[in-house]
């Protein structure tokens, strides 16, 4: 899916919601635990209930890898179940020396056929470029993340040019790939900075996690983060998928996704 197709999908569905499939056996409703594949059964029902209200799904690999080979199987089945017109993000935060990155890229783009993968930029250009060699696939590079520790390194200012580390990442990486293959992660909890962050990369899509459970402000993110092609995929996981821990979990997730999407529809009309 290219940038235009992603924007068309956003316009058609009037939402830029990404649902995070951070599926945790300790949090899913107890009645699912007797299923052969509880993780897939949970995801399947969440996807059935929410797919009309989102444009992307983002399974976080940690939740699947923690279960060993069974987790990979659940992930693969989940990916195959996601409707083909919906954008998929492997939240894997990979990145290594070039030949290793090439194999990570194969794993996520060829074996699993994800549309995109989150990548950590700190090993530099040769660790990111192998992911950019795949046609119609996206790299989503960590820029300014949502967590408290984001300040530890990302805010360090260069003595040479005064730029913060995340600013340097965003500016340099733009020469590595086009706006049709590179996005940046900007946490919703950084909403106070999103206006200046948008100036660093006016045309790129941002993946914005951190609304819902982490308390980020969707209106601020939308008002200052949106560009002419929306340019935002805003992720929420726990607040949607664990809206209820009972048998009505899928309906509760649908209600939450619908609520966020209705808000997004207002912002699309107001700020686009």
The catalytic site residues sit at 93
Local structure of residue 156 (DSSP, 8 states): P
226 vs 241, beta carbon nearer ligand OMP: 241
Count of residues in contact with ligand OMP, rule CB under 6 A: 20
91 vs 258, beta carbon nearer ligand OMP: 91
Piece of 45-53, 67-75, 96-104, 206-214 that binds ligand OMP (CB under 6 A)? 206-214
CB neighbours (10 Å) of residue 251?
14
Rounded Cα gap, residues 79 and 21, in angstroms: 11
Q: Is 236 in the site for ligand OMP (CB under 6 A)?
A: yes
Q: Which of 174, 105, 115, 108 is nearest to 141 (CA)?
A: 174
Q: Could you give the string, one character per residue 166-195, with x where binding to ligand OMP holds by CB under 6 A and - elsewhere?
A: -------------------x-x--------
Sign of CA dihedral 59, 65, 68, 69: positive
- Decide if 50 contacts 254 (C-beta within 8 A): yes
Inter-CA distances, 86 with 83, 116, 150, Å = 6, 12, 29
Least gap, CB of 212 to ligand OMP (angstroms) = 5
Phi-psi region of 37 (alpha: psi -120 to 50; beta: other; left: phi over 0): beta
Q: Is 209 in the site for ligand OMP (CB under 6 A)?
A: yes
- Decide if 50 contacts 85 (C-beta within 8 A): no
Least gap, CB of 77 to ligand OMP (angstroms) = 19
Rounded Cα gap, residues 170 and 79, in angstroms: 29
Least gap, CB of 74 to ligand OMP (angstroms) = 16
Report the site for ligand OMP in 16-35 (rule: CB under 6 A).
20, 22
Q: Is 212 in the site for ligand OMP (CB under 6 A)?
A: yes
8 vs 217, beta carbon nearer ligand OMP: 217
1 vs 188, beta carbon nearer ligand OMP: 188
Tokens of 272: 């686009």
Q: Is 213 in the site for ligand OMP (CB under 6 A)?
A: yes
Least gap, CB of 160 to ligand OMP (angstroms) = 26
Q: Could you give the string, one character per residue 143-162, with x where binding to ligand OMP holds by CB under 6 A and - elsewhere?
A: --xxx---------------
- Alpha-carbon radius of gyration of the chain: 18
- Decide if 217 contacts 188 (C-beta within 8 A): yes
Residue numbers at the binding site for ligand OMP (CB under 6 A): 20, 22, 60, 91, 118, 145-147, 185, 187, 209-210, 212-214, 235-239
């Amino acid at each position: 899916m290219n940038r235009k197709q992603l924007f068309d999908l956003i316009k058609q569905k009037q939402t830029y919601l990404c649902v995070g499939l951070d599926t945790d056996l300790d949090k899913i409703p107890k009645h699912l635990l007797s299923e052969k594949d509880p993780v897939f059964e949970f995801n399947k029902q969440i996807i059935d209930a929410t797919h009309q209200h989102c444009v992307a799904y983002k399974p976080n690999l940690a939740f699947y890898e923690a279960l060993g080979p069974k987790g990979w199987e659940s992930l693969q089945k989940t990916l195959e179940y996601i409707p083909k017109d919906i954008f998929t993000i492997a939240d894997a935060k990979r990145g290594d020396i070039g030949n290793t990155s090439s194999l990570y890229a194969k794993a996520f783009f060829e074996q699993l056929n994800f549309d995109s993968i989150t990548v950590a930029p700190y090993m530099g250009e040769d660790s990111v470029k192998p992911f950019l060699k795949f046609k119609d696939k996206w790299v989503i590079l960590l820029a300014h993340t949502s967590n408290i520790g984001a300040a530890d390194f990302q805010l360090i200012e260069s003595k040479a040019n005064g730029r913060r580390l995340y600013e340097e990442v965003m500016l340099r990486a733009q020469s590595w790939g086009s706006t049709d293959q590179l996005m940046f992660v900007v946490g919703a909890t950084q909403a106070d900075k999103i206006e200046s962050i948008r100036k660093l990369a006016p045309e790129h899509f941002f993946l914005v996690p951190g609304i819902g459970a982490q308390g980020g402000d969707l209106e601020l993110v939308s008002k200052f983060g949106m560009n002419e092609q929306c340019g935002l995929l805003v992720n929420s996981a726990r607040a949607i998928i664990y809206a209820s821990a009972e048998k009505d979990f899928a309906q509760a997730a649908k209600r939450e996704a619908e609520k966020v999407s209705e808000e997004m529809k207002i912002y699309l009309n107001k700020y686009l």
